[in-house]
């Protein structure tokens, strides 16, 4: 099942008035890969993620997740199907501890409905899951600190832990390294890659800086003005003429 497709879009489109934010995008995402979507600010990356997760309804086109048409399902339904997504605005409760934030994320987003029938053990289950996830991202040492006291880099790890808590099959990460000091970026990217590999997860990651994802992605889709400009392995993308022209033309933040 090496080539199993987890997610697929068909001519996915979103207009805002006269603006075409996502312009008939058709992509396939293979299971258990790290698939990055890159492109400059305004390329339509976040809107595309919003269409995948059900945050936003498409103008036209379709989204399939595990061969199921999920095009018009709302966010809570896609979450139950196994999609986890991050938001640019975080859902961290600043005055709760790291542990409480992760446990609440496991509980609130928990997709195992059977838990409703086991109210007395559920709390312990979620607590156990929270500890498991904190260990995975390296936050166990700060488990009992209020979230607001964490340095920025650890807050990004906490967000990652909160997405992981309900054990999604697909993680949609929108600029997970945003606002981090550049020397901390490789550590978070390596962590995301490890989570993908060890957890057999599929990760879709949005990033505006191509260099950040080059060393970690299996596949890169380049978006430009709402449309797909190129797609391939990092090597393919580095060699792609249209991408090179776009980068040399200064459309992107950093050159190859
Ligand atoms: N809710 C909205 N209403 C109107 N325009 C929007 C809305 N959301 C995004 N846009 C526009 O759609 C385009 C794509 O935005 P976005 O998806 O946020 O790009 P990216 O994440 O690649 O920076 C931009 O021109 C943006 O201004
Ligand atoms: Mg964005």
- Model pLDDT for residues 115-149, shown as the tens digit of each residue: 444 554 466 788 999 999 999 999 999 999 999 99
For ligand 1, atom 24, name the residue with the nearest CA: 42
Q: What is the pLDDT of residues 156-182, one digit of tens each?
A: 999 999 999 989 999 999 999 988 899
Q: Report residue 61: phi and psi, to 5°.
A: 100, 175
User: Is the pTM value of this prediction over 0.85?
Assistant: yes
The answer to whether the beta carbons of residues 34 and 190 sit under 8 Å apart is: no
Q: Which ligand is nearest to the CA of 225?
A: 1
Distance 53 CA to ligand 1 centre (A): 16
Distance between CA atoms of 6 and 11, rounded to whole angstroms?
A: 17
Which residues of the chain form CATH 3.40.50.300? 1-82+169-256
The pLDDT of residue 253 is above 60: no
Strand partners of residue 25: 12
Q: Which of 36-40, 71-75, 122-126, 199-203 has the lowest mean pLDDT?
A: 122-126
- Looking at the domain that runs over 1-82+169-256, which CATH code has it been given? 3.40.50.300
Residues contacting residue 85 through CB under 8 Å, at least 6 positions apart: 49, 52, 53, 55, 75, 163, 171, 172, 173, 174
Q: Residue 99 — very low, low, confident or very high, per pLDDT cuts 50/70/90?
A: very high
Alpha carbon 206 to chain centroid distance? Answer: 7
Nearest atom in ligand 1 to 43's CA: 22
Q: Which of 23, 39, 44 to mutate to test the pocket of ligand 1 (most atoms within 8 A of CB)?
A: 44
Mean pLDDT of the chain: 88
What's the CA gap between 172 and 151, in Å, rounded? 23
Widest distance between CA atoms in the chain: 60
**Which parts of the chain are beta strand (E)?**
5-16, 19-25, 28-30, 34-38, 60-65, 68-69, 83-85, 170-174, 202-207, 219-224, 227-232
- Dihedral pair phi/psi, residue 83, rounded to 5°: -105, 135
């Amino acid at each position: 099942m090496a080539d199993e497709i987890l997610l697929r879009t068909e001519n996915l489109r979103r207009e805002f008035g006269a603006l075409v934010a996502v312009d008939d995008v058709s992509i396939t995402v293979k299971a258990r890969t790290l698939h990055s979507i890159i492109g400059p600010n305004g390329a339509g990356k976040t809107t595309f993620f919003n269409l995948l997760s059900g945050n936003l309804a498409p103008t036209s086109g379709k989204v399939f997740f595990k061969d199921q048409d999920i095009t018009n399902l709302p966010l809570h339904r896609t979450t139950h199907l196994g999609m986890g997504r991050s938001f640019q605005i975080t859902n961290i409760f600043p005055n709760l501890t790291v542990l409480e934030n992760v446990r609440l994320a496991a509980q609130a987003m928990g997709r195992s409905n059977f838990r409703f029938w086991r109210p007395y053990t559920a709390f312990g289950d979620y607590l156990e899951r929270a500890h498991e996830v904190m260990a995975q991202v390296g936050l166990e040492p700060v488990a009992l600190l209020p979230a607001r006291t964490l340095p920025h880099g650890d807050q990004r790890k906490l967000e990652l832990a909160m997405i992981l808590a309900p054990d999604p099959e697909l993680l949609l990460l929108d600029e997970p390294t945003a606002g981090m000091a550049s020397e901390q970026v490789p550590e978070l990217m390596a962590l995301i890659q490890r989570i993908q590999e060890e957890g057999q997860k599929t990760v879709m990651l949005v990033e505006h800086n191509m260099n950040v994802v080059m060393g970690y992605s299996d596949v890169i889709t380049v978006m430009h003005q709402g449309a797909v400009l190129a797609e391939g392995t990092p090597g393919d993308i580095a060699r792609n003429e249209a991408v090179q022209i776009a980068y040399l033309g200064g459309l992107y933040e950093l050159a190859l």
